Amino acid sequence: MNLFGTILAGATLAIAPAALAQTAPQTPPADPAQTAPAPAAPQAAGPVSEAEVGQFATAALEIDKIRKDTATPEADKGTKMAAAATAAGLTPERFNAIGQAMQTDTALNKRIQAAASAKLAASGGAPAAKQP
């Protein structure tokens, strides 16, 4: 796996706990009859549009920066990562679903890596070297 694959996979795994924490109820309901059903397991990504590929790449690059930021307390990183996914136009759940799908879908993985390379090049960052 090349550098982008590693960055994107790490970003996906990093946001998973934050997304789950945001969907959990903060306080239990007073009446047990009002208990909401448990959140469903992450859905399959389904078709991923080109817009979502770009949004995912944007969010993943930002999430990687947050993950590496030593000035941000670890307790705050999950919230910032979820906010980065949302700011890019994806819910944390959709971000995670796409990230999980890219681990087994090589075509999707290549699309996301190409989008991330283009975004890095456009921002002045160096794209990763291609691997055979």
DSSP secondary structure letters along the chain:
--HHHHHHHHHHHHHHHHHHHHHS-SS--SSGGGPPPPPPPPPP--S--HHHHHHHHHHHHHHHHHHH-TTS-HHHHHHHHHHHHHHTT--HHHHHHHHHHHTT-HHHHHHHHHHHHHHHHHTTPPPPPP--
Residues of the chain with pLDDT below 70 are: 1-45, 125-132
Has residue 61 been placed in a domain?
A: yes
Provide the pLDDT for residue 100: 92
Structural domains in the chain (count): 1
pLDDT of residue 87: 97
Whether residue 43 is contained in a domain is answered as: no
pLDDT at 123: 82
Name the token pair of 98. Answer: 């796409």
**What pLDDT is recorded for position 111?**
95
What pLDDT does residue 30 have?
Answer: 54
Domain extent for 120:
1-18+52-127
Residue 100 lies in a domain: yes
Note whether residue 76 is domain-resident: yes
